[in-house]
Amino acid sequence: MSEQVETSSPRIWVFIEQEDGQPHPVSWELLGAAQRLANDLPGSVVEGVLLGHNVAGVAPQAFQYGAKRVYLIDDPILEFYRTMPYGMGISKLITKYKPEIFLFGATTLGRDLAGMIATHMRTGLTADCTELAIDPKQKILAATRPTFGGNLMATILCRQHRPQMATVRPRVLPMPDPIPDATGEIIREALDMNESDIPLRRLRLIPSEAKVNIEYADVIVAGGRGLGGPHGFKLLGELADALGGVVGASRPAVDAGWMDYEHQVGQTGKTVRPKLYIAAGISGAVQHTVGMSGTDFILAINSDPRAPIFQMANASIVGDLYEVIPELIKQVKGMRN
């Protein structure tokens, strides 16, 4: 079943994450980053790794986002994600094709899988990177991530072991433009496992009750401690609805129980990249702004004219959010009528 592929080019691999045949967009963001790395690593080739059952239909999209080849393990055992068969399948591919660099989305699945593979392959993994580059002298991956509570950035090299592995959270990297007529090669490999080899069974699936996915929202109206209580989020929700957006929150607002964690933006929450981010009653601490600095347009509303958020805002309103937000809602609704 497996095929021969020339092995001289340094390979930059991206894990193409999918669920029920639906690819996770972070895979395409990573392919864009892989292409930028390839530009600085002469002769290298960008390739995807896809596992699942009846998922070959995902490969053409990977080609459109820059993969020259996709290594595919398609097996009923891989119909839903389990760490062991996915990890063993990929470890087998790594042993055979020896990629230099391997990138994963820092999703729940990607974090679990990358950690298992790095341990199994005895190599280094830099988690939650915010920047990926090729070190100009050593020609190896320079993976940058926040450290010491977000106050410092560390660039980590993996000199001795391969592959050099990194995870990146969704929306940290820009989405590349697809090339509609790009094509590539699918290399099929066998899993060679039996169900009896796997200690974990899925008895039933309880769908997540997650109501909102703020990572890919175009408009986010976010509130912080300045709201003074959960009632403020009702107001923000009204503005978000009027703008066709969703509500975001700073960590203190989540810690206080005013909003669910899935709405939290920042270092320990989600990274977002909307077209419009309205920050109301948020001071602009680096642990918050690291999660929304990729926004196209930031409107900050704060009663303190010295609030750091104003330094990065495209438009600023100094004032009490409880006066400003109702006025904005009125204006937006007025524009629609």
Residues contributing to the site for ligand FAD (CB under 6 A) = 149-150, 224-226, 250-253, 264, 266-269, 281-283, 285, 287-288, 291, 301-304, 307, 320-322
Nearest distance from C-beta of residue 241 to ligand FAD, angstroms: 20
Distance separating alpha carbons of residues 301 and 298, to the nearest angstrom = 10
Q: Which is nearer to ligand FAD, 20 or 320 (CB)?
A: 320
Nearest distance from C-beta of residue 66 to ligand FAD, angstroms: 30
Binding site as annotated, residues for FAD: 225, 250-251, 264-268, 281-288, 302
Burial bucket for residue 7 (CB in 10 Å: 0-12, 13-18, 19+)? exposed
Q: Which is nearer to ligand FAD, 163 or 266 (CB)?
A: 266
- The CA dihedral of 191, 196, 197, 198, to the nearest 10 degrees, is 90
Q: Which is nearer to ligand FAD, 164 or 302 (CB)?
A: 302
Q: Which is nearer to ligand FAD, 34 or 221 (CB)?
A: 221
Contacts of 323 by beta carbon, 8 Å cutoff, 6+ apart: none
Rg (CA), the chain: 22
Distance separating alpha carbons of residues 274 and 156, to the nearest angstrom = 29
Nearest distance from C-beta of residue 91 to ligand FAD, angstroms: 32
CB contact at 8 A, 143 and 166: yes
Residues, the chain: 337
Q: Which is nearer to ligand FAD, 48 or 170 (CB)?
A: 170
CB contact at 8 A, 147 and 127: no
Distance separating alpha carbons of residues 265 and 27, to the nearest angstrom = 21
Nearest distance from C-beta of residue 105 to ligand FAD, angstroms: 18
Question: Residue type at 285?
Answer: A
Cis check for the bond before 85: say yes or no (omega within 30 of 0).
no
The alpha-helical segments, DSSP class H, found in 98-204 are 108-121
Instruction: Print the SS3 string covering 261-273.
Output: HHHEECCCCECCC
Distance separating alpha carbons of residues 276 and 217, to the nearest angstrom = 9
Q: Which is nearer to ligand FAD, 166 or 290 (CB)?
A: 290
Nearest distance from C-beta of residue 17 to ligand FAD, angstroms: 23
Binding site as annotated, residues: 225, 250-251, 264-268, 281-288, 302
Nearest distance from C-beta of residue 314 to ligand FAD, angstroms: 18
